[in-house]
Structures are given as C-alpha cells and as structure tokens.
Chain A
Amino acid sequence: MITTVVKVNLPVNEALEIKKMRLEPKQKTGGKRISIVTGIHGDELEGQYVCYKLSDYIQKNIDFLRGTVDIYPALNPFGMDSITRGIPAFDLDMNRIFPGNSDGDMNEYLASQIIQDVAGSALVLDIHASNIFLTEVPQIRINELHEKMLLPYAREANVDFIWVHGASTVLESTFAHSLNVAGTPTLVVEMGVGMRITKEYGDQLFKGIIHLMHQMGIWDGEDPDVKKPEQSSDHKDVCFLNAPSSGIFLKDTVHGTFLKKNDRIGAILDPLSGTVRNEIKSPVDGWLFTIREYPVVNEGSLIGRILYD
C-alpha cells in the first residue's frame, strides 16, 4: 500500500509529498519492520533499482513475508526531479538537517516527519550512491560510536566492504546518525556512482537485504548466500589520494582492483598543452575501493581511496 509520509503545499499549485510503499503479509502477524530508504541526495539513483526490485520481488512472493517492509524511494523528490544533489531552492544538503524540527521551516518539518515515520524500525538501510565524482564498491559506512550495534547487521548485507570511520560532529545532523542515537539501527550503504544505476550492485544489495530479512525473521522464502566483506576497523586503514594538480583525470584502473605500490592508477592531463601534468600511482599496497569518475579535477580533488593491504 502506498501512503503519504508527509505533505506540504507549495506556493504555486502543487504539493510536495514524500511517499512510501508498505508491504505486509496477507495475514498481519506483528513481525519486525525493515525500512529501505534512499534519495536523500537527488543525484544518487543507485537505490532506485533496489527499491523497485525489492518491491516487485516481495509482492510476487508475498506468502513468504512475515513482517513489514517500508520502502521510501525518494526522500528528496525535488532533488530527484531536478538532478540536484541538495534541496533545490534552498541550496541545502538534506542530510545535514536531521532530526529536523516539527515547528521548524518546511525542510526541518519534512525531516522531523520522516524520522518520526522511520523510527522504531528493527533495521533501516539508507542507500546512497557516492556522488557524481566518485565510484564506490558496495560498502557500508559505520560511525565508530555505533559499531557494536550495527556491525552484526552490516556483515550480513552482502557488501564488499565495511568502513568503520571516526566520529565527526558534522555528521550528527545526518539521517542515519539521528536514528542510530535514537536506538533505531541504521546502516548507510554507499555504492556505484551518482546519476547512474549499476544494476550489478543493485542485485548484490538486493540479495543482502533479503538475507537480512531472513535473519531477522521477516522473510521465510529463499535465503541467498552472501559474501564476507572486507573490513576496516580503524580509519587509519584507509589511504586517501588527492589530485596534486588541476586537470583532466583519466583512469587506467577500475575500483575493486588490488594494487601494488607504484602501480599506475591514472594520469592528470592538460589537453591545452598536450602534456601529462601528473601520473597517479598507488603510494601503498592495497585495495582500491573508490575511484574518481568525473574527469575534471582541481588541485586536492579526491581521486581514490585505498584500503591498506
């Protein structure tokens, strides 16, 4: 059943509605609830396919459902519709306004109503797609403050990598942090690249979600096999590669590649002079789990991330 989570009237002949699909067993059993959330950033589309596939699969196999599945495909419908990462008209990152405020402005109000609706789920997956600049292997990112609560779920989600990162005050206003501090376990999934859908990754995560549902007693159908993820338990395990100069970055390798020190990753080119400004080589032995997709770089732009071997 499709329902409206929150609705506000806009100035000119339109209402902004955030909707969800609720899937329940034919005979309500009072089982657990899992929530699949995506589209906080309007340029991240990887979660769209996951939402579609999950909804389609469960509806076709509804007899195996033992709990509730809530699917929120577009928390930022304006952004999705206008290819805008943030909230259009406000130039605001929606993932910096949680938990919101029911007495606040329109966006704070929307955020508060979303949190109110999702809170209490047994598990939430917040699916992101990096951004338009970077491609990521399917991974789950966990704030070290919530490692104990989230790690058992993350290990079963069929991702390639779990990154436990340091706490940051700025991240306290994210959707996931707001729910995690309130006791609703929320996993942040990053995979693929902005403005595109990587079907292979969507299929991988779909299996992970079905497996998690099975583990949690929400799903009684087929239980897919899942992979054992790489894991970084210390943020010092990750090496960041930043562009040493501005130019056009042309990659020679793909994300997910194991690199030896000095293996070439790509080059920064100067098309005007027809020269190579910098060759980009791996400074360490390790696994390239992020690589830059968008070719234009400024000095300092992130080019890749490597998990130390």
Chain B
Amino acid sequence: MTEKTLLELKALYRDDFRVTGFSFGQGEKAACIVGSMRGNENQQMYCCSQLVRKLRELEEKGRIKPGKEILVIPCVNPYSMNIKKRFWSIDNTDINRMFPGYQEGETTQRIAGGLFEEIKDYTYGLQFASFYMPGRFVPHIRVMKTGFEDVELAKKFGFPYVILHTPRPFDTTTLNYNWQIWATKAFSIYTTTTEEIDRTSARWAVESVLGFLQRMGILEYGGSAGYVSKVASTEDMITVRNRTAGFFEGKVSAGEHVRKGQILAGIVDCCNGQIVDEIDSPTEGTLLFAHAEAKAYQNTAVYKIIPETEEW
C-alpha cells in the first residue's frame, strides 16, 4: 500500500487541507474508489476505510493482479468532516457540484479539478454516494443515464438492485456524470445510511466492491456471488408522500416487501398526539427508501417503492 497526498491547499489558521489516497498494486489505472465528499458522509468514509483495510491484506497476500492499480480515497473533504458541516466550510458550496472542476477557479472548483485530474483516467470509477433526504436505503448501485452507462457491468456488483437515473441539470456537475463523460465506467454505491454508520450494509458494500474487482480481473478474491440484480429506473419508482405534516411513525423499513393498501406509516399531530394521516401503499413492491426523521414536512417523499410481485 502506498499512501499519497493527491491534493493540498494551505489554510490560514487550520492545518493544510489534504486529500489522501491509498494505492494498491502497480500498473494501469484499473479502479478508483471515492468515499465522502461531504462533511456528514460518515458511512461512505467508513466503507472506504474498510476497503483500505481489506485491500491491504489482499495486497500483502499477493492477490492484486500484476499490472493493475487500485486507488481508494476515503475522504475528499476533511475540512467539512472535521467541523460536521455538510458542505464547504466557508462558502457552503458542494464539491460534488463542481466537476470536472477548474484549477484556476474558486476553492471547491480547484479541489474538484485537482482531484479529477488524478482520477479521470481510471477504467472503473466507484463512488460511495449519499442522498440529500434523511432516510435509509436498500443498498443498490445507481447509474446515471448519460448515453455511456453500462448496466450489464453494474449488475456485476451483485447488489439486489441497479437503479438507472436520468440526470437533472444539477447532476451534470457531479463526479459520476463527469467520470462517464471522460470514458470511465462509473457507478454510485448507496448503502443504508449517511451520518450513522451501519456496519452490516458497509460490510455488504465492501464485499460487493471486492467481488466486482475480482470479476473485472483486478484482484483475486473468493467472496460470494451476491444477488442477481434487478434493474429499475427512477421513473419506474412509486413515490409515496404524506398529505399532512407531523411526527412520522414508520411501520415498515427499507427492503421490506409491501402489499397494495398496506399501512406504511402514521402521521401524528405534534401537539395533541392524534393520528392525523395514515399512509398506505399504492402498490405492491419493495421499499427502496424509507424516511428516517422524527418529523415529516407535508408532501415529503417518505417512501420510494419499486413495483414488483414477490416471487417466492
């Protein structure tokens, strides 16, 4: 394992801003794995830290294929992680809205530009991503539809689902989108949580990544084959919203299969404790996402369902 500083900025009163990468094997730039880009992405950084640990062991056993290099970057934004702020410390800009970056531009453009220069030539690009809404996901691979996406490859992670996502205007400045435009096979990995560490889904994600790298001929690994992935697009998903604001009492969790008409959650009046709304499922399917915050604003997407029939 080689530890290297990929990017460095000098600050006034804080320690230097450093983005550190961990490199395994030598040779062609085979795979790059990026962790937290925002200050609350603990789970995403945790997954990468576990990958570093596993890859170090595998390298010591000579299991990285000759002529292949893997780079893991657990954290792109230590400044925000260390002050528990989601976006950039001074101006609140989001590094993951700055790609491909500009090294003569503003601070977060420079960080994105400097990072992208280091990672744009890898064959496979994997990013542990997070969702802006508070909730829990079924672990899945998300692929942006850019015209360069490779869905068959995404299935090789062995996750239960591969979700195809049509980019919105602001998605065009994300790492995933730009990786694809620059000919890297790019995938976003969603585990269950963001701020809270979920070791079970982290372990699952690490195993899936190592399995993918094995299938791509980058390392030798004897992990499980995983799931036969189902492919769904964000347009196929049914969003379930609460009609009334209040305390959110979820009765089902991400990953559960639900029937049409099943009560999924109740909304409780914050002052008098009465149930003011019951949310039922408009379809049979699997819950990809479930809201996980005490309160819910009116019309919040509290569940996202992949419509499907249980097959056992």
Indicate if the CB atoms of A91 and B87 lie closer than 8 Å: yes
Given A11-B247, A133-B91, A170-B173, A109 and B299 contact (CB-CB distance below 8 Å): yes
Distance in angstroms from A93 CB to nearest chain B CB is 9
Q: For this complex, into which size category does the number of interface residues on chain B fall?
A: 35 or more
Binary B-proximity of A281-309 (CB < 8 A = 1, otherwise 0): 00000000000000010111110000000
Binary A-proximity of B292-312 (CB < 8 A = 1, otherwise 0): 000111111100000000000
A128 CA to B255 CA, complexed, in Å: 44
- B106's partner among A90, A169, A300 (CB-CB below 8 A) is A300
A172 CA to B67 CA, complexed, in Å: 44
Which chain B residue lies CB-closest to A268?
B12
Which B residues lie within 8 Å of A91 (CB)?
Answer: 86-87, 132
Which B residues lie within 8 Å of A301 (CB)?
Answer: 90-91, 106-107
Which B residues lie within 8 Å of A2 (CB)?
Answer: none
Please give the number of chain A residues whose Cβ is less than 8 angstroms from any Cβ of chain B in the complex: 38
- B12's partner among A10, A133, A173, A247 (CB-CB below 8 A) is A247
Indicate if the CB atoms of B170 and A302 lie closer than 8 Å: no
Which A residues lie within 8 Å of B185 (CB)?
Answer: none
Given A9-B245, A106-B299, A299 and B168 contact (CB-CB distance below 8 Å): no
Binary B-proximity of A152-180 (CB < 8 A = 1, otherwise 0): 00000000000000000111110000000
Is A182 an interface residue when CB atoms closer than 8 A count as contact? no
Which chain A residue lies CB-closest to B302?
A105
Given A9-B245, A242-B105, A296-B12, A105 and B300 contact (CB-CB distance below 8 Å): yes
Which chain B residue lies CB-closest to A302?
B106
Measured CB to CB, the residues of B under 8 A from A are 9-13, 86-87, 90-92, 97, 104-110, 132, 168-170, 172-173, 241, 244-247, 270-271, 295-301
- Sample 25 A-B pairs with CB under 8 A, ordered by A number: A8-B299, A9-B298, A10-B245, A11-B245, A11-B297, A12-B271, A12-B295, A89-B297, A105-B297, A105-B299, A105-B300, A106-B298, A106-B300, A109-B299, A131-B91, A133-B91, A170-B172, A172-B169, A173-B168, A173-B170, A242-B104, A272-B13, A296-B90, A298-B11, A300-B107
